[in-house]
């Protein structure tokens, strides 16, 4: 008798489990450390933070075909105007030009997301404020919102206020935690001994414990309150999101420390294990609370999918409170309609005059008909030519797109944006742009060897001050995501075999060489009160996508 195969889904599950199981990177230590080492370090929080100045533009690789950059626009006490300009020097071999890459395609490939930044608060200050519960602290605001929401149903203003306050609290902890993690990881990288790394990681873990404990005390107290269903769900979701976030912070740090342990000894391994134990504590907490977002080392791909989906849902739930709405419209629509109407009127006036003139030839049928046909043809072309001329005139004097940015709190405008994009002639670029582009040039003839097309993008933003009662955000952040996938359609194969002679060995060699291209970006963000220098980066790409980003000093 032939052996029956198990059902296909079971086979697929077995294969997935065998080939795509999670990889264990660091084992957590569950033993108690001697008080003179780990315990004492947890209690020592006197070490000051070291915050490095941040650039106003952050460039990063989102994926193989998407370049992402974030721009910060600080709010002021008075309205402030910013101007963003970027020049993309693209190799001619990409075949980007006005006839093949129009404005619609440019804006389709250049997406923009706008959000508010949360009020800045160092991680230690956040922990201290959460523990104290003093008036004006995040925990105090949350407790007050919960008190006012007692007895109110879902969708009521007090209930919505609680949900919004919870989401803002989660965003504040996320922002301060990420900054603290960056500082802690820098301290770990700079540490000469495992003890120094242990100090940095233990202090960080202690702060995370204090914040989590303060928030979970609020959840315990809220169990006795008469709150709406959406308030209780939001409390749990923020708790789960906060636990996931803190777990991710310490887990990532443990992997970084473990990498040094492989080359520098067991002392570093102990630091990594202790840090991993902090992540395990958070995972066990979520399991005890019955939350869905708990992973394990034997998880199937579908389990991992669900885990990641849950993390994404929770992050979106909290972070979306900061999002702003973009109302985008064509910048010169009304003017173009007016000009096109004028073109039609002029063409019609010509047709009417030509028809009146042709009436003198009514006695002659053929000449009369020919004149009418000619006048109609001239009128049609005249209208088209005038529309083209007027469109070019408007393009130079009006923005391609006009934005109104609004918040979720109030319908008032947060900012107004005028945006333009297109191609620019290399010879007509501003001197500062050309100087920045040519800083790495060896000789003037190099531009003949590396011909480039210049794609230009600019935004003029007028930002209004924050009003009383709104989230006291320090700045608005705009995140651009540029899709260069279509740019790479005409690039060569990334791997090419080349042959050359070695003069020392007296032999012919053959090797596979990588074919890469450089996209140079010259950019700046300026305001009326502050003129900044042009800066430049180099984006190295191949047919497979973005390889790396090199800053040019």
In order of 258, 382, 384, the CA distances from 389 in angstroms are: 66, 11, 9
Task: Compute the 3-state secondary structure of the chain and give helix, strand, coil in percent, each to the nearest 5.
Answer: 50, 25, 25
- Which string of DSSP letters, residue by residue, matches 465-529? PPPTTS---SEEEEEEEEE-TGGGGGPPPSEEEEEEEETTTTEEEEEEEE--EEEEEEEEEEETT
Enter the pTM of the model. 0.75
Q: Where are the domains of the chain?
A: 26-52+121-323, 75-116+401-552, 332-397
Please give the chain's pLDDT, 553 residues, in tens: 344 444 445 445 444 444 455 555 555 554 443 333 333 333 332 333 333 333 568 889 998 999 998 888 999 889 999 999 999 999 988 888 888 888 889 989 998 888 888 888 888 998 988 888 888 788 999 999 999 999 999 999 999 999 999 999 999 999 898 888 888 888 888 888 888 888 888 888 889 889 999 999 999 999 999 999 999 999 999 999 999 998 888 888 888 888 777 777 677 888 888 888 888 999 999 999 999 888 887 888 888 888 889 989 998 999 888 888 888 777 666 666 776 777 777 777 777 777 776 676 666 667 767 777 777 777 778 777 877 777 777 667 777 888 889 887 667 788 899 998 989 888 888 888 988 888 877 766 666 667 889 999 999 999 988 887 778 888 888 889 999 999 988 887 777 788 889 898 889 988 887 788 999 999 999 887 777 889 999 999 988 899 999 988 7
Q: Could you tell me if residue 382 is left (phi over 0), alpha (psi between -120 and 50 degrees) or otherwise beta?
A: alpha
d(CA 368, CA 360) in angstroms, rounded, equals 8
d(CA 405, CA 414) in angstroms, rounded, equals 5
How is residue 49 annotated by DSSP? Answer: P
Burial of 266 from C-beta contacts in 10 A (0-12 / 13-18 / 19+)? exposed
Q: Measuring CA to CA, which residue among 536, 540, 548 is closest to residue 87?
A: 536
How is residue 151 annotated by DSSP? Answer: T
């Amino acid at each position: 008798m032939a052996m029956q195969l198990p059902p296909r889904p079971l086979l697929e599950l077995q294969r997935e489990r065998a080939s795509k199981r999670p990889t264990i990177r660091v084992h957590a230590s569950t033993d108690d450390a001697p008080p003179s080492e780990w315990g004492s370090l947890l209690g020592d929080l006197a070490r000051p933070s070291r915050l490095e100045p941040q650039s106003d533009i952050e460039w990063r690789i989102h994926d193989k075909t998407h370049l992402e950059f974030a721009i910060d626009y600080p709010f002021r006490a008075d309205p402030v105007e910013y101007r963003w300009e970027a020049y993309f020097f693209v190799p001619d071999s990409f075949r980007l030009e006005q006839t093949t890459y129009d404005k619609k395609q440019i804006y389709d490939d250049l997406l923009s997301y706008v959000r508010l930044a949360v009020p800045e608060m160092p991680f230690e200050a956040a922990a201290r404020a959460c523990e104290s519960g003093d008036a004006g602290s995040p925990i105090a605001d949350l407790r007050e919102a919960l008190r006012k929401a007692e007895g109110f149903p879902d969708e009521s203003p007090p209930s919505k206020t609680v949900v919004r306050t919870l989401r803002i609290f989660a965003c504040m902890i996320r922002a301060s935690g990420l900054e603290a993690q960056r500082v802690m990881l820098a301290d770990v990288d700079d540490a000469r001994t495992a003890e120094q790394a242990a100090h940095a990681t233990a202090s960080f873990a202690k702060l995370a414990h204090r914040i989590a404990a303060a928030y979970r005390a609020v959840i315990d107290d809220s169990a006795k309150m008469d709150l709406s269903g959406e308030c209780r769900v939001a409390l749990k979701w923020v708790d789960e999101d906060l636990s996931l976030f803190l777990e991710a912070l310490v887990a990532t740090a443990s992997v970084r420390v473990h990498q040094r342990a492989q080359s520098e000894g067991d002392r570093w391994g102990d630091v990594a294990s202790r840090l991993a134990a902090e992540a395990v504590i958070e995972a066990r907490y979520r399991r005890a609370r019955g939350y869905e977002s708990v992973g394990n080392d034997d998880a199937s791909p579908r389990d991992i999918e669900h885990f990641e989906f849950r993390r994404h849902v929770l992050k979106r739930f909290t972070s979306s409170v900061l999002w702003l709405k973009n109302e985008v419209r064509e910048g010169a629509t009304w003017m173009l309609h007016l000009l096109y109407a004028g073109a039609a009127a002029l063409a019609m006036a010509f047709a009417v005059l030509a028809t009146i003139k042709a009436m003198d030839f009514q006695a002659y049928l053929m000449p009369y008909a020919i004149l009418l046909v000619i006048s109609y043809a001239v009128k049609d072309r005249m209208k088209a030519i005038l529309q083209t001329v007027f469109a070019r005139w408007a393009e130079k004097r009006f923005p391609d797109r006009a934005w109104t940015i609004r918040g979720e709190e109030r319908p008032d405008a947060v900012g107004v944006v005028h945006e333009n994009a297109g191609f620019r002639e290399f010879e007509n670029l501003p001197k500062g742009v050309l100087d920045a582009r040519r800083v790495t040039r060896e000789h003037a003839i190099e531009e003949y060897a590396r011909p480039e097309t210049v794609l230009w993008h600019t935004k003029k933003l007028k930002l209004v001050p924050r009003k009383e009662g709104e989230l006291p955000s320090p700045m608005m952040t705009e995140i651009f995501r540029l899709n260069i996938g279509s740019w790479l359609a005409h690039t060569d194969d990334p791997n090419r075999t080349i042959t050359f002679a070695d003069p020392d060995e007296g032999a012919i060699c053959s090797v596979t060489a990588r074919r890469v291209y450089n996209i140079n970006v010259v950019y700046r963000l300026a305001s009326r009160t502050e003129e900044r220098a042009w800066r430049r980066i180099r984006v190295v790409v191949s047919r497979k996508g973005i390889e790396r980003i090199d800053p040019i000093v």
